[in-house]
Amino acid sequence: MFDFKLNNDDDIDFNDDDLVLVEGTEEILQSISNILKMRGSEFYFDKEVGLNTMFLFGKDFDANSASNAFAEACEQDNRVETVTNVLISKINRNLNVSIELKLKGNDNIQNLEVNFDDW
């Protein structure tokens, strides 16, 4: 599969007025990143897609439950075989997440970094 490449601001990326496309592993990681940036039940056409944010807000932040929520969200993409590790760094209202996952048909562990500012 292929998709439009998104830049760091999640806008469609252009190169000399041409759309940039992604495919393969890069496309899969971008797709997973998009799932993680969507709150659960936010997508009108599929209420099951997105990240369960219940454990990410408030004073009683639970890193273990948040890690599980991130892993479950990653596994919504059927090309993910397993999530091997989730590291969460929360500083004030900024959340940085580093996820290691294994894709189906690929023996390498992939790393995905997702930053949530002012969540």
- 9-39 confidence digits (pLDDT tens): 888 999 998 999 999 999 999 999 999 998 8
Distance CA 100, CA 102 (A): 7
- 38-97 confidence digits (pLDDT tens): 888 887 788 789 998 887 777 777 889 999 999 999 999 999 999 999 999 988 878 899
Give pLDDT, residue 119: 57
Which domain does 56 fall in, by range?
2-116
Best CA proximity match to 36, nearest among 84, 6, 79, 75: 75
Structural domains counted in the chain: 1
For the cut 90, the answer to whether the pLDDT of residue 103 exceeds it is: yes
The CATH number for 9's domain is 3.10.450.40
